[in-house]
Structure 1
Amino acid sequence: MENSFSIILLIFFFLIYYKLNKKINHLEDEIGELKKNAFKNIPVTEAKQEQTIPEASAVLDENIQEIKQSTEEQNISEEVLLPPQKDWTTPIFDFLKQNALTIIGIFTLVLGIGYFVKYAIDKNWIGETARAGVGFLIGAGIMLIGHFLKKNYSVFSSIITGGGISILYFTTTIAFREYQLFSQNIAFAITCFITLISILLSYYYKSEILIIFSLFGGFLAPLMISTGESNYLFLFTYIMVLNVGMLTIAFLKQWKSVGWISFIFTTVYLSYWTIEKTQLLSIYFYIIAYIIFYAFALQSYVRKSILSTFDILMLVLINFSSIIGLVYIFNELQYEPIIIFPLIFAFVNSLLLFKEYNKKEFTTNYSVFTGITISLVTIAVALQFKTHLITTVWAIEATLLLFIWKKTNLNIFKICFYVLFPLVIITQMITWAEYYTVKNLAIIFNPVFLTSSVTVITTLTNLILLKKLPETQKQDNSFFENTFKILSFGVIYFALLLEIIYHISERPSSFIFSIGILFSLYYLFVILLFRKKLDINKDLETVLISIFFFLLILNVTFSASELVNSILLKNINSNFYIVHLLYWIPFVYTLWKILPESDFFKTKISYWLASITFVIVISSELYHLYILGNATNLSTAWKLQKHFSILYLPIIWAILASLFIYSGLKKNITELSKVGFVLLGLMILKLYAYDIWQMDNISRIIAFILLGIILLLSSFMFQRLKNIIKNMVDKKVENENLESQ
């Protein structure tokens, strides 16, 4: 029943196709007749025709001239209106939109043929040799159909021919792997022959699409006929021959896509070989590949002294990918000197740099060769100090991409930079993991910190390069720039912090934590100190100040308390507390200089955050100094803590509250006065609700007398300030009245 329905459906489809095809042919005939009789529809005599045809020709010429002129004007206007950069994805999407059905159709056809052959095999209709023969015939037949369609449907025929080539490749693979109809050498010879034929056809048809099919087939052929044996010499000889053919086609036809496809496949194959089985032999193939793809990248430069966007990108990638592979081999095989290849590649690029320098033009070409040469020399120096390979190369490569973006203003380098920089962070984090596994690393001059130093230097360079961008570009990329700055500051912070912690890791935890917090405070302080040079916007500045205050609170509460306990337990020398007090330098300078110049106090809550931080810092430090000055051990410290909380803390809060109220009135800052009154209220509430019931009579008398004196003096001071302000206002009104008279 199903077979009958399928046959009826197929007949119905062909009837519809026949009808539509007949209508299309009829329309084409009518259009052809209209074109032929364009000038024959004028019903005049022969003499009139002789007069009219020139007139029609003249009108036609005028129309053609107008069309040409309007086209030229349109082209000129388009040149003016179009931006200098082209979106490289547009032609790809246009191609897919126009040819999606063709691609899906040929793919479906190949699958359909495959399922048919499988069905025939399952039914034992044909033998193994016949199966392979059917596959070859079908592939050749599809290619022949593509050949006949070439004249009128070039793109369509290229895709059809590519589908036929794919069938030939898959047929060869199945015949070798499944049926063992011929040996590996014969199978390889057949795939090479198919590749050669497809390349010649693509050159003959002038079809870039067909050469892409050919390259995919050529590079996948070794995988199709592989038996699992690692004959790398044979494999890479074949790949390099294929690359030479690619280079020839690319030079003759200027097809950039073939070079990029070859580069991707070659890099994958070489990387797999390098990791799977590190051999000295692979170095020769790395060098050959470097020469081939370096020549590919310089084609336009040799012809026109111009480096296109993708030429520059290829130069960057071939230099750095080759360095990674070659240096990795030298590392694994323990050959020296490890810097030989970065220096050789730097010398090659310096020759082109010298050529550009002699021109005295200093164009994009000069910047590109300068950046690549300096980057390679920097890599050589870094590797000589035994830095980690991948992290070092990627960090320098990312900076080079950012430098080229700045010089060329081509967005593809910006995209590549923003893709590569997170990878640099990931590899750097993997490098930092060695701090937890490796023992006895030297101070500073160890592979982990030297690698971190390269990352820090390149990151700082990146920040400088981004700082020098025009304001319009900064606004367009504000999100990425802010994210990048935060990540950059984070990378530098952890690079320095982890090195410090590693070398003090044998000390007590309180000591380590205190040093870590102190370093964090100074790190944030340095960023805030150079905020203008680092081009930090006001919002980020406010966030950094808030984090600074949070770290201060953490430092004087948890960190200082643990430190005091360790000193009392004799685990740490008491002199270290002086080192802990060094945080006062950034704290005081921030209050005195940085806060007044910032936009931190734009919101009311910021006054509360700064005031609370100040109260906690003063209270905590006086408490810790009191404990260290009077306690001899932890048991006495607990008693002194209670005494300080009941007797001295209310006095400290009363003094601070008075200062806040006085400052708020003097500077006309309402929030400061509110903070003072709230703190005073908390002090009084604490005093009468709890403290007074814990004191002895003498302490109670002393506390009340001192607090009373403080409050009276504060009241007297407020009255004086109020009178001063009143006198100033009266004087101002009097002066205004005199001026008006």
Structure 2
Amino acid sequence: MNNSEQLNLLLIKLENLLLRQQGFESEIETLRNQVRQLQSGGAPIPAVQKPIEQKPLVVFPERNTPPSFANQNTPPPVIAPPTFAQPAQQPTFTNQFKRENLGKSSFEKFIGENLINKIGILILIIGVAIGANYAIENGMVSPLTRIILGYLVGAGLMGFAIKLKAKYESFSAVLLSGAIAIMYFITYAAFDFYKLIPQAMAFTLMVIFTSFTIVAAIKYNKQVIAHIGLVGAYAVPFLLSNGSGQAGVLFTYIAIINIGILILSFKKYWKPLFYASFGLTWIIFLAWRLDLPSDNNFFSLSLLFSTLFFFIFYITNLAYKVSKKEVFGLSDVVLLLLNSFIYYGIGYFILADNKHSVELLGLFTLANAVVHFVVAVIIYKRKLADRNLFYLILAMVITFITMAVPVQLDGGWVTIFWTVEAAVLFYLARVKNIAIYEKLSFPLIFLAFFSLAQDWLSYADYYGNVPIVKPILNVGFLTGCIFIASFIWMLKISSKETEKPAEWIWIRQILTYAIPSILVFVTYITFSIEIAKHFNNLFELTKINTTPNAKAEFANFVYNYNYEKLKTALIFIYTLFFVSALTILNLKKLRNNELALANVALNLLVIVAFLTFGLWNLSELRDAYKYADSSLSLNQSGYKEVVYFKNGAINIYIRYISIAFLGLLVWSFYKLSKSDLLKKWPKTAFDYIFYITLLWILSSELVNVVSLSYLEGSYKLGLSVLWGAFSLFLICIGLWKNKKHLRIGAIILFAITLIKLFIYDVSYLDTIAKTALFIFLGVLLLFISFLYNKYKHLIIENADAED
């Protein structure tokens, strides 16, 4: 259908609606004349009938009607758009207050028809109260007469209100509300002032008044009647209180009122009425419960009525919307959540306050989830409400199940449950396209991660305060594996192309990076903790009491701290392997540009960490191998060295294992730098990283060999010779591979070597060493100069080519 055809159809619809409106205006004018005639009591005023031009209604063709091939080429008729008369100018807000328009304004109508009668009924109630008080103080009539007269005034006002209902419904409703209020207070006076009626009778009368109020509110369709009756009903228990403290009677009465409002909610959607009953009920209950001492005897009563109120308000909130199949608004959702969590908070407080019911907190939380689940199932099976309400209640089910686990369980089981729950919600959100589940999985993902981090912190103290835990075969490792498996599953789901949500797009953007980042971090930490556990166990097993005869608090224990250094070395080896494997995985399978940048950052970080802390730890292992851990023991001849532990050659071998894994990392880094994943990676960057790392390792190895040879003083000379030779090596590579940056780097290194020679080495070396060092470095400089002169044509040609 083109634009002209659509415009014609819309104009036809508009013309039909205008015809119907003219008919409605005629009928309205007729009804107004009849009302005026009845009010004046005179002869009927003839209605002015405006002639209505009857135009045939345009009949639209049925949908999906196949086109007629005979008229397929006939152009559609052009329908002229109808002309409409210009509407009369409406009076503005300021014009309503002009003298000529004041009598017709809605402001005067509001005062005359609504405000005056409410003020009048209030003054009438006050007048009745003043008159009754005057009669009481002056003894004009007997107590029984006063009460009877009060009821007669209320009954008369009620009868007058009922009589006026047919013609003046709004005015009658206000009168009826005043009559009910008078009935409440007269009953209070009969019970409290004169003791003319017992408490049970007063209670029964108030229930009758409340029921009558609800019925009247429905008949009149006036919310004000229900409000006045409700406020009076909630005030009655306090007005009629004789200090007996019968909480059961109070809450039974409030429950009856709320049940009446529940019945009313199936007929009327009066939110202010529900707000008032909801707020007053929970305020009264909380004020009573929080004022009780901890050793009270109201455990069953508190739990019973809080549960009853919860169910009443739950059904009341759902009743009208579900019965009418209307959409839930924001206020309905807020009340649903408030009711659920207020009840849960009260129930949790009641159970936690009783020492015999503390263990039922998890079961109570799970019971809340079951209640919401039953409601969700009923709504889903019978299709009683919109889809959003079903998902909201189902989200509450998930929330309470999530809360039940940490309330009842502890440790890794909480993490396992939250992780699996987050993965399932994420699956339903992405695969089943249920947006609310992705919103729920978002906090659960981070909640599970922080719970796992808390589990890790329990293994932070390794020195005698934690029992020995077997690596791999423990709950912590099982928790980590389930976490890793769940996040791998979520990562696979996330990698698939799915439709982006219309709202809360930032959640999906955060999860796109958060899930793989958390997965990599948790995988690394999980296995590193198992390595640490193994060496922590070995460390604890080396515990020796050097003062067996001393009391426990004065005992002295010795540990083999070599295991701490071995643990650090093995974690460095694991780290080198992990980042190498991650880089190779990205190169071979994942091919992700963002991960490639992360690989670069991780590789650099690990290389720097190994060259500093890692090599330092390896040097301490070397020293521990050379000098066994020992302690001093006092005997008759004085202090004597006692050796408790002997360390094996693993302290030396682990150095070369570490360097081998460093080589694996450097090789994977080289492959990454040559791949197309790093588009803006500088060509010379890897050369700097590689040759600096190589020089650092060679220097460390030189110090290691000198130390093992017990020639600690000669490493200064050795480093100068090594750095000079390495400079020559870089010059040769730079000329051979035509890499200017290597030649410049070699010159800088040689300059550093010369500075070290003149500032540091000269003051520490003997004459022979100085002579040999100066001759060696001089020969190197001359040879480097010779190479530059011999291959200067290559350098010049390369410079010209670059220009």
TM tier relative to shorter chain = 0.5 to 0.7
1:462 deviates by: 3.5
Query: 1:252 maps to what in 2?
Result: 323
1:391 matches 2:415: yes
Amino acid at match of 1:494: I
Query: 1:80 maps to what in 2?
Result: none
- Do the aligned partners of residues 416 and 313 (structure 1) sit closer, same or farther apart at CA in structure 2, a change above 3 Å counting? same
Residue of 556, 570, 574 corresponding to 1:515: 570
Query: 2:751 maps to what in 1?
Result: 681
1:480 deviates by: 5.2
Query: 1:187 maps to what in 2?
Result: 250
Residue of 670, 681, 692 corresponding to 1:592: 670
1:293 matches 2:293: no
1:192 deviates by: 0.9
1:148 deviates by: 7.4
Residue of 654, 657, 663 corresponding to 1:579: 654
- Indicate if the aligned counterparts of 1:657 and 1:676 stay in contact, CA closer than 8 A: yes
Residue of 425, 428, 450 corresponding to 2:478: 450
Q: Deviations over 1:259-302 (max 9, x none)?
A: 54554345445544565554687788667645432122234531
Residue of 498, 513, 519 corresponding to 2:529: 498
Q: Deviations over 1:484-504 (max 9, x none)?
A: 544443344333333432332
- Do the aligned partners of residues 253 and 450 (structure 1) sit closer, same or farther apart at CA in structure 2, a change above 3 Å counting? farther
Distance 2:407 2:471 in 1: 26
Q: Deviations over 1:564-615 (max 9, x none)?
A: 2322222443323322433332333234323333538439877656654443
1:512 deviates by: 3.3
Distance 2:712 2:231 in 1: 84
Q: How does 1:285-364 map to 2 (within 5 A)?
A: 289-303=368-382, 308=387, 311-312=390-391, 314-315=393-394, 317-318=396-397, 321-322=400-401, 325=404
Residue of 725, 744, 749 corresponding to 1:655: 725
Distance 1:327 1:479 in 2: 26
TM-score (norm 2): 0.57
Amino acid at match of 2:341: I
Query: 2:469 maps to what in 1?
Result: 441
User: Tell me, what secondary structure is at the counterpart of 1:204?
Assistant: coil
Query: 1:617 maps to what in 2?
Result: 697
- Indicate if the aligned counterparts of 1:390 and 1:427 stay in contact, CA closer than 8 A: yes
User: Tell me, what secondary structure is at the counterpart of 1:441?
Assistant: coil
Query: 1:543 maps to what in 2?
Result: 601
Distance 2:192 2:576 in 1: 77
- Indicate if the aligned counterparts of 2:569 and 2:618 stay in contact, CA closer than 8 A: yes
Amino acid at match of 1:592: Y
Query: 2:494 maps to what in 1?
Result: 466
Choose 694-703 or 267-276, whichever is displaced more: 267-276
- Do the aligned partners of residues 283 and 594 (structure 1) sit closer, same or farther apart at CA in structure 2, a change above 3 Å counting? closer
Amino acid at match of 1:468: K
Distance 1:483 1:302 in 2: 37
1:396 deviates by: 1.8
Query: 1:644 maps to what in 2?
Result: 715
User: Tell me, what secondary structure is at the counterpart of 2:673?
Assistant: helix
Distance 1:580 1:150 in 2: 92
1:415 matches 2:439: yes
- Do the aligned partners of residues 181 and 438 (structure 1) sit closer, same or farther apart at CA in structure 2, a change above 3 Å counting? same
1:559 matches 2:617: yes
- Indicate if the aligned counterparts of 1:271 and 1:325 stay in contact, CA closer than 8 A: no
Distance 1:243 1:270 in 2: 11
- Indicate if the aligned counterparts of 1:452 and 1:495 stay in contact, CA closer than 8 A: yes
- Indicate if the aligned counterparts of 1:391 and 1:424 stay in contact, CA closer than 8 A: yes
1:189 deviates by: 0.9
Please provide the CA RMSD for this pair: 5.4
Choose 277-286 or 413-422, whichever is displaced more: 277-286
- Indicate if the aligned counterparts of 1:406 and 1:469 stay in contact, CA closer than 8 A: no
User: Tell me, what secondary structure is at the counterpart of 1:531?
Assistant: helix
Amino acid at match of 1:680: F
1:205 deviates by: 0.8
1:185 deviates by: 1.0
1:328 deviates by: 5.9
1:195 deviates by: 1.8
Amino acid at match of 1:581: Y
- Do the aligned partners of residues 212 and 722 (structure 1) sit closer, same or farther apart at CA in structure 2, a change above 3 Å counting? farther
- Do the aligned partners of residues 489 and 667 (structure 1) sit closer, same or farther apart at CA in structure 2, a change above 3 Å counting? same
Choose 197-206 or 309-318, whichever is displaced more: 309-318
- Do the aligned partners of residues 252 and 730 (structure 1) sit closer, same or farther apart at CA in structure 2, a change above 3 Å counting? closer
> Which one has the largest radius of gyration?
2
Distance 2:471 2:228 in 1: 62
Choose 230-239 or 455-464, whichever is displaced more: 230-239
Q: How does 1:272-291 map to 2 (within 5 A)?
A: 272=349, 275=352, 277=355, 278=357, 289-291=368-370
Amino acid at match of 2:704: H
- Do the aligned partners of residues 660 and 471 (structure 1) sit closer, same or farther apart at CA in structure 2, a change above 3 Å counting? farther
Amino acid at match of 2:758: Y
- Indicate if the aligned counterparts of 1:132 and 1:172 stay in contact, CA closer than 8 A: no
User: Tell me, what secondary structure is at the counterpart of 2:586?
Assistant: coil
Query: 1:344 maps to what in 2?
Result: none
- Indicate if the aligned counterparts of 1:394 and 1:424 stay in contact, CA closer than 8 A: yes
Gaps of 5+ in 1: 1-31, 41-48, 68-124, 332-385, 632-639, 733-741
Choose 427-436 or 392-401, whichever is displaced more: 427-436
Q: Deviations over 1:164-203 (max 9, x none)?
A: 858865x578679x97365111111122123212222222
- Do the aligned partners of residues 538 and 444 (structure 1) sit closer, same or farther apart at CA in structure 2, a change above 3 Å counting? closer
User: Tell me, what secondary structure is at the counterpart of 2:471?
Assistant: coil
Amino acid at match of 1:407: V
Distance 1:244 1:51 in 2: 58
Q: Deviations over 1:623-665 (max 9, x none)?
A: 223323x12xxxxxxxx444212x2212322333344445555
- Do the aligned partners of residues 315 and 679 (structure 1) sit closer, same or farther apart at CA in structure 2, a change above 3 Å counting? same
Distance 1:519 1:283 in 2: 41
User: Tell me, what secondary structure is at the counterpart of 2:458?
Assistant: helix
Distance 1:132 1:661 in 2: 111
* Count of matched residue pairs: 561
Q: Deviations over 1:543-567 (max 9, x none)?
A: 2233122212224443223222322
Distance 2:232 2:468 in 1: 61
Amino acid at match of 1:551: A
- Indicate if the aligned counterparts of 1:556 and 1:617 stay in contact, CA closer than 8 A: no
- Do the aligned partners of residues 432 and 730 (structure 1) sit closer, same or farther apart at CA in structure 2, a change above 3 Å counting? closer
User: Tell me, what secondary structure is at the counterpart of 1:54?
Assistant: coil
- Indicate if the aligned counterparts of 2:411 and 2:455 stay in contact, CA closer than 8 A: no
Amino acid at match of 1:564: R
- Indicate if the aligned counterparts of 1:518 and 1:580 stay in contact, CA closer than 8 A: no
Query: 1:206 maps to what in 2?
Result: 269
Distance 1:305 1:161 in 2: 27
Gaps of 5+ in 2: 1-24, 34-47, 61-78, 85-136, 138-184, 194-202, 540-559, 630-646
- Indicate if the aligned counterparts of 1:662 and 1:718 stay in contact, CA closer than 8 A: no
Identity percentage of aligned residues: 17
- Do the aligned partners of residues 405 and 657 (structure 1) sit closer, same or farther apart at CA in structure 2, a change above 3 Å counting? farther
Amino acid at match of 2:748: V
Q: Deviations over 1:387-434 (max 9, x none)?
A: 633222222222222222222445433333332233223322332333
- Indicate if the aligned counterparts of 1:162 and 1:214 stay in contact, CA closer than 8 A: no
User: Tell me, what secondary structure is at the counterpart of 2:243?
Assistant: coil
